[in-house]
Amino acid sequence: MKPTPHIEAKNKDEIAKTVLMPGDPLRAKFIADTFLEDVKQFNSVRNVLGYTGTYKGRRISVMASGMGMPSIGIYSYELYKFYDVENIIRIGSCGGYTPKVELYDVILAKDVWSESSYAKVQNGYESDVIEGTPELNQRLIKYANELEIPMHIERIHSSDVFYRENFEEYKEIYEKHGCVAVEMEAFALFHNARVLGKNAACLLTVSDNLTTQEATTSEERQNAFTNMMKIALEMAE
Ligand code: HPA
């Protein structure tokens, strides 16, 4: 096959059926270096690093999404449509909208609310809520239970804007739509999965909280994300 505009792998079998997607390319590298064996790199276009390896003897890939819905929209579409990827699990960070979700807590996005035009522009989808794939969520819940890692299962907000002029608007989004945290990618990922008949899920670690203004450093985040990664890595097949 011909490589896609953004992924240089020449064969579909260079990429596993399940891909974990952190936003940050160096986090993708960290996961491959730390958790995977027999690792082969399959992408470096624009430094969006992608690797395939094994975890406990089972195959899995990890590739960065970049930040924001346009970026994850491109990479997830190409993986699903041209590389026959079946499952994408986003593993990201989020900002808490309520003290109920504390720093370093793990959240599974049951569904996602967004004011983004991504889905409407992509195929005319009108709703502002999209679900993750229930079967993937059931598996992730089972793995979290087995690993005894507590996990919130909640609605989240996918935002196009990190720096809102009026940051207090988060209170209304929490109250009106029930979103417990904000990130910037899940809505486009879930939409692409639905459109292409594939599966998607989103696991998040709370990296900051808008109600308390607490935040973590990038170094602390790297380490604290291990719990979330352990759950996601069990998806290897
Ligand atoms: N806003 C959007 N995305 C995020 C945040 C945030 O506060 N924290 C981590 N990802």
- 99 in a domain, yes or no? yes
- 3 in a domain, yes or no? no
pLDDT of residue 71: 98
pLDDT of residue 172: 97
Is 33 labeled as catalytic in the residue annotation? no
pLDDT of residue 214: 83
Task: Ligand 1, residue 183: give the atom nearest the CA.
Answer: 3
pLDDT of residue 102: 93
pLDDT of residue 222: 67
- 96 in a domain, yes or no? yes
- 5 in a domain, yes or no? no
pLDDT of residue 216: 81
Q: Is residue 144 within 8 Å of residue 227, measured between CB atoms?
A: no
pLDDT of residue 224: 72
- 207 CA → ligand 1 middle, Å: 8
Give the HSE-up count for residue 122: Cα atoms under 13 Å, Cβ half-sphere.
22
- 86 in a domain, yes or no? yes
**Confidence (pTM):** 0.96
What's the total number of domains in the chain?
1
DSSP string, 118-138: HHHHHH----SEEEPPHHHHH
pLDDT of residue 223: 64
Pocket of ligand 1 (CB under 6 A): 93-95, 159, 162, 182-184, 207-208
Domain of residue 52: give its range: 12-233
- 95 CA → ligand 1 middle, Å: 4
For residue 71, give the nearest of 125, 18, 23 by alpha carbon: 23
Question: What's the CATH number where 151 sits?
Answer: 3.40.50.1580
Strands 87-96 and 18-21: parallel
- 150 CA → ligand 1 middle, Å: 21
Strands 129-131 and 50-55: unpaired
- C-alpha 111/C-alpha 132 separation (Å) is 6
Residue ID of nearest Cα to ligand 1 atom 2: 183
pLDDT of the chain, 237 residues: tens digit per residue: 889 999 999 999 999 999 999 999 999 999 999 999 999 999 999 999 999 999 999 999 999 999 999 999 999 999 999 999 999 999 999 999 999 999 999 999 999 999 999 999 999 999 999 999 999 999 999 999 999 999 999 999 999 999 999 989 999 999 999 999 999 999 999 999 999 999 999 999 999 999 988 888 877 776 678 999 999 999 999
- C-alpha 173/C-alpha 197 separation (Å) is 29
